[in-house]
Amino acid sequence: MNRFIVPIIGFAILVIFLLIELNRDPTFVPSPLIGKQIPAFSLPRLEDPDQTLSDADLRGKFSVVNVWATWCSGCRQEHPVLNRIAAQGQVPLYSLNWKDEAERAKSWLQQFGDPYVATGFDGDGRVAIDWGVYGAPETFLIAPDGTILFRHISPMTMDIWENEFLPRIAAARSGAAK
Amino acid sequence: MIPELGQLCTTIALCLAVVQTFFPLVGAQLDKPAWMAVARPAAVGQFVFLALGFGFLEASFINNDFSVLVVAATSNSQLPLLYRMAALWGGHEGSLMLWVLLLAVWTIAVTVSSRRLPEALAARIIGVMGFISAGLLLYIISVSNPFLRLSPVPMDGNDLNPLLQDPAMAMHPPILYTGYVGFSVAFAYAIAAMLAGRVDRQWARWVRPWTTAAWMFLTIGIALGSWWAYYELGWGGWWFWDPVENASFMPWLIGTALIHSLAVTEKRDLFKGSTLLLAIGAFSLSLLGTFLVRSGVLVSVHAFASDPARGVFILSLLIIVIGGALSIYAWRAPGLDRNAGFKVISRETFLLVNNILLSTAAGLILLGTLYPLVLDALEAGKISVGKPYFDTVFIIPMLPLVLATGLGMHAAWKSANLSELLRKLRWPAIIALISSITITALAWGTGPVLTYVGVAAGIWLLLSSLRAPVMRLFGKGPRLTASMIGMQLAHAGVGLFVIGVTVTSTFSIETDQSVRLGETVQVADYAFTFKDLQQRQGPNYTALRADVDVTRNGRKIAHLNPEKRIYRVQTMPMTEAGIDAGLGRDLFVALGDDLGNNAWSLRIQYKPMIRFIWFGCLVMALGGLIAIGDRRYRAAVQTESSTVNAGTATRPA
């Protein structure tokens, strides 16, 4: 085999991956965790490392978990949206501060506003791996029993919030009422 | 009526692009001069109709015609004129119109200057560019039409994302795209040469100025984006390794390697295989970047899948253009490449190492960017890739590259004398080491070892780049051509950039403080006094504007006005930082939240040498500009003997 064929083979492999991605069901949610229980975890809180944020804190009500970092420009973009969602007060927002520096993260929240009830500091990204996080920002919707209802990858928008998150909460509520 | 005219013009441009592809390419293959002669008029016609189509779309933006979907989506009647015009490329559809228009501009430039090329080569180059244009125009007209109407017509538009309402950001896409699209010229030259089965030194001389010009635009475009991120995101960072940035940086790295590989092809008739591959690679990455990132596939799998028609079209286009080019490469390159002819210690070796390191860096960044996608397709576990990954994989190939560049620039072609090389460069090396330690320690105190290494590497590159031009000023050493001066200047720019990055990342001071009105806080040697806070009305936003006085040793040195803006349409708060810029340091103040009791959170930063980052990029681009000016690119076809002579060893890279 001569070396001049290598580039086209490499490209062919890339194309195969793109084709696989493309042929996925458009409603496909790329997480094996949907419908499953949230992974058990316990992290120091950003605002007070002596306290912890754990999976138990997320249960018992509908909650939203946002994964963010100060180096992520998409997070900067979605932040005002999260502030608005928090101000509406329908669902408490929690967050995982992912692969970040605590000082930077704290000043970020001071600068741009803190929409979160509590933030777990996941500096080395271990907990995020359990959650299947592969990039920031990501936002999860959690049911009171701890199942993951929905996962949104990429910056949050009011549109996504109103059309993907709120209807799922309403559906889960009416399902539970029956 | 106007959007419909625009659509008509764009459709005619598509037809002309098909003509521009078919007749010249087939004519060159069958040796029919009449068919080849179609290339130029078809290219000119395509440009005229595309310019009209673009003009009509721009008119809809200027006239606030919200019945046009893209105008309603990204513009607003309150938006100032400049931003209404820039809103055209604020969305996916419009930015692709800009892309094809710029492709047509490059094609015209090639057409005009192609008189001195052999007829068949010119026809093939214009034909390949027509093919790319045809593919994109078909995409625009079939699935990404910017002329679509909206019904019912909204009262007003959705407004341009406030983050993009900024002069630098309005200029950023056109300049960046000019760079991206410019690599299509080198790509077309490579395909044309492979179809003709001939790659020689004259060919390389023709391609070089085009490649350098595209690279220059890309350099400025990336620097502009980074500068914008620094002052507009309100965060003080200048590079985030997000997919959009990576998409522009990968073609830059490969384009840089291409420039160096072309130098070897021109001077020594070697590296033809890698030159062709890099030419294909630079444009392929531009194309991949434009589509995959803009379409959102890397950010969110959903965005891509939610519009399957676009996804299938994009992928088909990538397969045809990139796959086709690489197939031609696999078929024709083996007969063109030629190895041998240089010793281990020679400029060729240094340039080979340069190409390998730059390609490795680009490859690792591509891997990091596509990783989520590949893992998802495999349904394997998720591994996260972020800034820490990119920082690490980038510095590993780059540090040796910076060190080797200083040596490589002074190494002779074919066979260099190592002891001669070391003798020549011992002073720059010694001065770099000593000054790195002393200057760093005196100016900013102690830092980690890597900081000294980085500063020393930057100074080393700066000194070794400027050695020849400075000696020339004193009448010593060989005469320098424009392309040599350009090369040395560009490398000096890299040196400045390295110094800036190293010092900024180590010695920046970033604080967030709660400051009351009238209160003064101290950061580094500077005292910041929070004087006043006032409401201000902008054209489409309301702003809170702070007055901050900065003094040093009791002497007033700056008056800063950081703002917090609320844009009325999208009700999005934006931070407008107050920056006192200086060559040695920036003072950066951003206004945060109201903490009550007349206290506000202020983000105050001291950023030493950060200007060197963008200044270095400008110097690099200036080096490119000077190199393009070299007379030999404009001379008639040179005889081979004029460059292969004893003087070759001192010729430029």
The pLDDT of residue B139 is above 60:
yes
| C-alpha dihedral (B31, B37, B40, B43), degrees to nearest 10 | -70
Mean of the per-residue pLDDT values of chain B: 88
Q: What's the 3-state SS for B588-613?
A: EEEEEEEEECCEEEEEEEEEECCHHH
**Residue A5 counted as domain residue:** no
Q: Please, are residues B51 and B101 in contact by the beta-carbon 8 Å criterion?
A: yes
Lowest mean pLDDT among B7-21, B98-112, B200-214, B594-608: B594-608
Q: Please, are residues B17 and B134 in contact by the beta-carbon 8 Å criterion?
A: yes
Distance set, CA B302 to CA A21, B112, B161, B384 (Å): 10, 44, 21, 18
- Determine, for residues B306 and A26 on separate chains, whether the beta-carbon distance falls below 8 Å: yes
Q: Higher-confidence residue: B296 or A91?
A: A91
Measure CA A19 to chain center. 26
Calculate mean pLDDT across residues B96-112. 96
The pLDDT of residue B159 is above 70:
yes
Q: Of B242, B284, B510, which has the smallest distance from its Cβ to A74's Cβ?
A: B242
- Determine, for residues B372 and A8 on separate chains, whether the beta-carbon distance falls below 8 Å: no
From chain A, the residues in CB contact with B306 under 8 A are 26
Q: Any idea how long chain B is? A: 653
Q: Of B333, B377, B573, which has the smallest distance from its Cβ to A80's Cβ?
A: B573
- Cα separation of B6 and B314, whole Å? 23
- Cα separation of B481 and B228, whole Å? 35
pLDDT band at B125 (very low <50, low <70, confident <90, very high): very high
Calculate mean pLDDT across residues B456-464. 95
Which CATH number covers residue A173? 3.40.30.10
Measure CA B622 to chain center. 14
Q: Higher-confidence residue: B240 or B408?
A: B408
pLDDT band at B314 (very low <50, low <70, confident <90, very high): confident
**Residue A20 counted as domain residue:** no
- Cα separation of A95 and A64, whole Å? 8
From chain A, the residues in CB contact with B388 under 8 A are 99
- Determine, for residues A22 and B385 on separate chains, whether the beta-carbon distance falls below 8 Å: no
**Residue A2 counted as domain residue:** no
Q: Higher-confidence residue: B536 or B371?
A: B536
Comparing CA positions, the residue from A163, A132, A169 lying closest to residue A149 is A169
The secondary structure of B479-501 as a DSSP string is ---HHHHHHHHHHHHHHHHHHHH
Q: Count of CB contacts below 8 A, A vs B?
A: 154
Where b means 16+ CB within 10 Å and e means fewer, B12-40 reads bbbebbbbbbbbbbebbbeeeeebbebbb
Lowest mean pLDDT among A120-129, A141-150, B256-265: A120-129
From chain B, the residues in CB contact with A18 under 8 A are 297, 315, 318, 373
Percent of chain A with pLDDT over 90: 26
**Residue A38 counted as domain residue:** yes
The H helix count followed by the E strand count for chain A is 7, 7
Give the sheet arrangement for strand A148-153, strand by strand.
A118-122, A93-98, A63-68, A138-142, A148-153
Where b means 16+ CB within 10 Å and e means fewer, A123-147 reads bebebbbebbbbbbbbbbbbbeebb
The pLDDT of residue B652 is above 80:
no
Q: Of A4, A30, A71, which has the smallest distance from its Cβ to B376's Cβ?
A: A30
- Cα separation of B359 and A165, whole Å? 43
Radius of gyration of chain B (CA): 26
Residue A35 falls in which region: left (phi positive, over 0), alpha (psi -120 to 50) or beta: left
- Cα separation of B312 and B317, whole Å? 9
**Residue A26 counted as domain residue:** no
Percent of chain B with pLDDT over 70: 92
pLDDT in tens, B265-308: 999 998 999 999 999 999 999 988 777 665 555 544 434 444 66
Report phi then psi at B233, rounded to 5.
Answer: -75, -10
Q: Please, are residues B261 and B278 in contact by the beta-carbon 8 Å criterion?
A: yes
**What's the pLDDT at A130?**
80
Q: What's the 3-state SS for B169-192?
A: HHHHHHHHHHHHHHHHHHHHHHHH
Q: Of B308, B330, B375, which has the smallest distance from its Cβ to A5's Cβ?
A: B330
- Determine, for residues A18 and B315 on separate chains, whether the beta-carbon distance falls below 8 Å: yes
| C-alpha dihedral (B452, B457, B461, B462), degrees to nearest 10 | -10
The pLDDT of residue B74 is above 90:
no
**What's the pLDDT at B345?**
87
Amino acid at B464: S
Q: What's the 3-state SS for A60-110?
A: CCCEEEEEECCCCHHHHHHHHHHHHHHHHCCCCEEEEEECCCHHHHHHHHH
pLDDT band at B377 (very low <50, low <70, confident <90, very high): low
Number of Cα atoms under 13 Å in the Cβ half of residue B353? 20
Calculate mean pLDDT across residues B582-609. 88
Q: Of A32, A80, A129, which has the smallest distance from its Cβ to B572's Cβ?
A: A80
- Determine, for residues B382 and A134 on separate chains, whether the beta-carbon distance falls below 8 Å: yes
pLDDT in tens, B180-224: 999 999 999 999 999 999 999 999 999 999 999 999 999 999 999
- Domain range for A118 is 33-177
- Name B135's Cβ contacts closer than 8 Å, sequence gap at least 6: B317, B320, B321
From chain B, the residues in CB contact with A127 under 8 A are none
From chain B, the residues in CB contact with A24 under 8 A are 301, 305
Comparing CA positions, the residue from B35, B494, B4, B443 lying closest to residue B253 is B494
Lowest mean pLDDT among A99-103, B80-84, B109-113: A99-103
| C-alpha dihedral (B413, B415, B419, B424), degrees to nearest 10 | -10
Q: Which residue of B has its CA nearest to A28?
A: B302
Q: Higher-confidence residue: B623 or B472?
A: B623
From chain A, the residues in CB contact with B322 under 8 A are 11
Q: Which helix (H) or strand (E) holds B27?
A: helix B2-30
- Cα separation of B325 and A7, whole Å? 10
- Determine, for residues B386 and A30 on separate chains, whether the beta-carbon distance falls below 8 Å: no
From chain B, the residues in CB contact with A73 under 8 A are 229, 233, 240, 242
From chain B, the residues in CB contact with A19 under 8 A are 315
Q: Which residue of B has its CA nearest to A131?
A: B382
Calculate mean pLDDT across residues B493-521. 92
The pLDDT of residue B385 is above 90:
no
**What's the pLDDT at B379?**
62
Question: Using a CB cutoff of 8 Å and minimum separation of 24, what contacts does A1-6 make?
Answer: A2/B334, A4/B273, A4/B329, A4/B330, A4/B333, A4/B334, A4/B337, A5/B330
The pLDDT of residue B42 is above 80:
yes
Q: Higher-confidence residue: A32 or B139?
A: B139
pLDDT band at B9 (very low <50, low <70, confident <90, very high): very high
The secondary structure of B344-355 as a DSSP string is SSSHHHHHHHHH
**What's the pLDDT at B304?**
41
Domain count, chain A: 1
Calculate mean pLDDT across residues B583-595. 88
Q: Please, are residues B460 and B491 in contact by the beta-carbon 8 Å criterion?
A: no
- Cα separation of B626 and B161, whole Å? 37
Q: Which residue of B has its CA nearest to A136?
A: B386
- Determine, for residues A129 and B383 on separate chains, whether the beta-carbon distance falls below 8 Å: yes
**What's the pLDDT at B150?**
84
**Residue A137 counted as domain residue:** yes
Q: Of A99, A112, A133, which has the smallest distance from its Cβ to B388's Cβ?
A: A99
Comparing CA positions, the residue from B114, B100, B149 lying closest to residue B39 is B114
Structure tokens at B203: 């060919």
pLDDT in tens, A56-86: 899 889 999 999 988 777 788 888 899 999 9
Structure tokens at A56: 């138990």
pTM above 0.80, yes or no: yes
Percent of chain B with pLDDT over 90: 59
Q: Which helix (H) or strand (E) holds B546?
A: strand B541-552
- Here the ipTM equals 0.81
- Determine, for residues A129 and B575 on separate chains, whether the beta-carbon distance falls below 8 Å: no
Distance set, CA A150 to CA A28, A74, A119 (Å): 11, 19, 20
pLDDT in tens, B525-549: 899 999 999 999 888 888 999 999 9
The pLDDT of residue B12 is above 50:
yes
Q: Please, are residues B127 and B17 in contact by the beta-carbon 8 Å criterion?
A: no
Report phi then psi at A120, rounded to 5.
Answer: -90, 135
Name the DSSP class of B356: H
For chain B, domain boundaries: 1-164, 166-337+344-411, 417-505+623-629, 509-608
pLDDT band at B466 (very low <50, low <70, confident <90, very high): very high
| Mutation for A interface: B194, B226, B301, B509, most A CBs within 10 A | B301
Q: Of B315, B333, B382, which has the smallest distance from its Cβ to A22's Cβ?
A: B315
Give the sheet arrangement for strand B578-580, strand by strand.
B509-516, B599-608, B585-596, B578-580
**Residue A7 counted as domain residue:** no
- Determine, for residues B326 and A113 on separate chains, whether the beta-carbon distance falls below 8 Å: no
**Residues β-bridged to residue B527:** B522, B551
From chain A, the residues in CB contact with B273 under 8 A are 4
Amino acid at A129: I
Pairing of strands A63-68, B555-560: unpaired
| Secondary structure (3-state) at B107 | helix
